[in-house]
Structure 1
């Protein structure tokens, strides 16, 4: 738990934020041009901007991990900080074909509105288990921060089993 809190503090305390859209020359420039074609960026049209001036940004940080590993707890703790804007739900953009095929424009619409100084964070633990996710995330933003949350396997399996059993009982299903 201490490492989890330390990681959260270090993430938020870093003074330099990674930009939502890669600005590096070469392949990053190609990706940036693609972003401008696929996404109507708020600074280009004024669309997608809230009355307070906030906009939807691609995440600068993605939380990945194992089921029942504490990813939701970390996201909740991070979102308490005023400089963090967190997506409410698991987006499953990089691991579900039906979402990925809709493009970065769709992904952007899943992000929260945030101010330019805020860090946008997304959490989908399943990204950890999909072999195509690393390349897809890297092609979107090669400088993105990935927070990997792991847990002792025996504790995790007990927690997972307890949760599955509880859910079955709540739905009045027979013991699995």
Structure 2
């Protein structure tokens, strides 16, 4: 490891936060030795431990971990010039957050289809009271974001499957603001 780096992060946490952060997080490459070393330095400074530590997986591209040194980065800023930001968010959210994953073009294709289906479903008036609770249930289970997306997929498919053919409003007109709000508030996706 790099002892100076561990000490530097510990001092920054102490000076900025007044001790250990409530949640320590970063890539899975920080799981050892960086986070345990920084935590031990904070304990030596008289701080307690973080209440939780989370580590996200690395994102790969063309079989390699994305990195500046390899020059194989896919920039969200460039994707935004040609893609709906909601589709980019859904493409990334569909990947298990705690595992290494590979960025592939089909993720955006699937996300575009998903966002289109969701937008059609929120365009149909209806009762979506159970949707928020079902999303929260998946998120409360290890932050299962792909599972939460599947909940919305199932809700949208059921809602669209119950509309008369050729009438996206289901004969009711209107908009499902409850579903729109739940998806935005819980998943950060504006429909």
Q: What TM-score comes out, normalization by structure 2 length? A: 0.26
Asked which structure has the greater RCO (Cα within 8 Å, sep 6+), the reply is: 1
The structure where helix makes up a greater share of residues is: 2
